[in-house]
Structure 1
Amino acid sequence: MNKLKFLALSSIAFLFSCSNSDDSQPTSNEPNLIVRLKFDKDQIRLNNLGQPAEIGEGNAAQTPIVNYMSAHYIELAPNLYTLLGEGEVIYKGEETTAGGAQAIDFSKAILGQDGEVFLSIPLSEVSTGNYDWVRVSVSYQNGTIKFLNSGNELTGTMASFIGYNNYIYSFDINGQTVEVNANKLQGYWAFETLGYVIDGQAPEGAVTVPNPLFESSPIPQGSCVLTGQFENGLTITGNETEDITINLSFSINNSFEWNEVNTDGKFEPSAGETLTDMGLRGLIPSVTY
Structure 2
Amino acid sequence: MKNLNTYLLLFIALIVLSCNSNDEDCCANPESPNLVIKFKFDPTQERLDNVGQPSTIPDGNAAQSPSVNRMSANYIEFAPNAFTLLGEGEIIFAGDETTDGGDNAINFQNAIFAGNNETFITVPLSDVSAGSYEWVRVSLAYQEGEIEFLLNSADIIGTIGSFVGYNTYITSFDLNGSTIDVNGNRLQGFWAFEALGFSTQGQAPEGAVTVPNPLFDTSPIPQGSCVVTGQFENGLTISGNETEDVVVTLYFSVNNSFEWIEINADGKFESSAGETLVDMGLRGLIPYVGN
Question: Could you tell me which residue of structure 2 aligns to residue 264 of structure 1?
Answer: 266
Equivalent position to 1:158, from 160, 163, 173 = 160
Aligned CA-pair RMSD:
1.4
Indicate conservation of the 8 Å contact 2:204/2:279, yes or no: no
The 4+ residue runs of structure 1 with deviation greater than 3 A are none
Task: Specify the alignment match of 1:184 in structure 2.
Answer: 186
Quote how far apart the aligned CAs of 1:169 are. 1.2
The one of 198, 211, 221 equivalent to 1:196 is: 198
1:106 aligns with 108
Deviations 1:63-99 (A, max 9, x none): 1110101000000000000000000000000111111
Segments of structure 1 that go 5 or more residues without pairing to the other structure are 1-25
TM-superposed CA distance for 1:272, in Å, is: 2.1
Q: Name the TM-score, length of structure 2 as normaliser.
A: 0.88
Q: Pick from 170, 173, 185: which aligns with 1:171?
A: 173
Q: Trace 1:49-68 onto structure 2 (pairs within 5 A).
A: 49-68=51-70
Instruction: Say whether residues 1:273 and 2:271 are aligned partners.
Output: no
Q: How many angstroms does 1:27 deviate by?
A: 9.5
The separation in 2 between residues aligned to 1:63 and 1:181, in whole angstroms, is 30
Partner residue of 1:218 out of 217, 220, 243: 220
Which consecutive residues of structure 2, in runs of 5 or more, have no partner in the other structure?
Answer: 1-27
Residues paired across the two proteins, number: 264
Q: 1:191 and 1:30 mapped to 2: Cα distance?
A: 43
Amino acid across the alignment from 1:257: E
Provide the residue aligned with 1:91 in structure 2.
93
Structure 2 residue 244 is matched with structure 1 residue 242: yes
Distance 1:260 1:288 in 2: 40
Q: What is residue 41 of structure 1 aligned with on the other side?
A: 43
Counterpart for residue 84 of structure 2: 82
Partner Cα distance (1:205, 1:27) in 2:
51
Deviation at 1:274, TM superposition (A): 1.9
Task: Give the letter for the 1:41 counterpart.
Answer: P
Aligned residue for 2:9?
none
1:28 CA drift (Å): 6.0
Larger relative contact order (Cα-Cα within 8 Å, sequence gap ≥ 6): 1
Go from structure 1 to structure 2 and tell me whether the alpha carbon gap of 1:252 and 1:28 turns closer, same or farther (over 3 Å shift). Answer: farther
Q: Is the deviation greater in 226-235 or in 175-184?
A: 175-184
Q: Output the amino acid matched with 2:241.
A: N
| Greater mean alpha carbon deviation, residues 211-220 or residues 172-181 | 172-181
1:115 aligns with 2:117: yes
Check whether the contact 2:137–2:227 (CA below 8 A) recurs between aligned residues: yes
- Matched position secondary structure for 2:211: coil
Separation in structure 2 between the aligned mates of residue 154 and residue 288 of structure 1, nearest angstrom: 37
1:171-210 C-alpha deviation (Å, 9 max, x unpaired)? 0000111121111111111111111111122221010000
Checking the alignment, whether the CA contact within 8 Å between 2:204 and 2:277 is kept in structure 1 is: no
What residue is the counterpart of 2:230 in the other structure? 228
Provide the TM-score with structure 1 as the length reference. 0.89
Deviations 1:22-54 (A, max 9, x none): xxxx99610000000000011000000100111
Matched with 1:21 is none
Match of 1:141 in 2: 143
Q: 1:189 to 1:28 in 2, by over 3 A?
A: farther
C-alpha displacement at 1:258, in angstroms?
Answer: 1.5
Deviates more, 1:66-75 or 1:191-200: 191-200
Which residue is 2:11 aligned to?
none
Structure 1 stretch displaced more, 273-282 or 132-141: 273-282
* Aligned mates of 1:185, 1:198 — CA distance in 2: 17
CA distance in 1, matches of 2:48, 2:280: 12
What secondary structure is seen at the aligned counterpart in 2 of 1:51?
A: coil
Residue 107 of structure 1 aligns to a residue whose secondary structure is helix
Shift of 1:288: 2.3
